[in-house]
Structure formats: C-alpha cells, structure tokens
Amino acid sequence: IDEEEGHDEL
C-alpha cells in the first residue's frame, strides 16, 4: 500500500 494515500479503491 501507498503509505501516503492508503487505499484509493472501494
């Protein structure tokens, strides 16, 4: 996972 953005999907 991207530490900055987290999960961007549902």
Footprint on this chain of other proteins (rule: CB under 8 A): 1, 5-10
Q: How far is the CB of 1 from other proteins (least distance, A)?
A: 5
Whole-angstrom Cα distance, residue 4 to residue 1? 9
Q: How far is the CB of 6 from other proteins (least distance, A)?
A: 4
Q: How far is the CB of 4 from other proteins (least distance, A)?
A: 9
User: What are the tokens at 6?
Assistant: 């987290």
Do 8 and 1 form a contact (C-beta atoms < 8 A)?
no
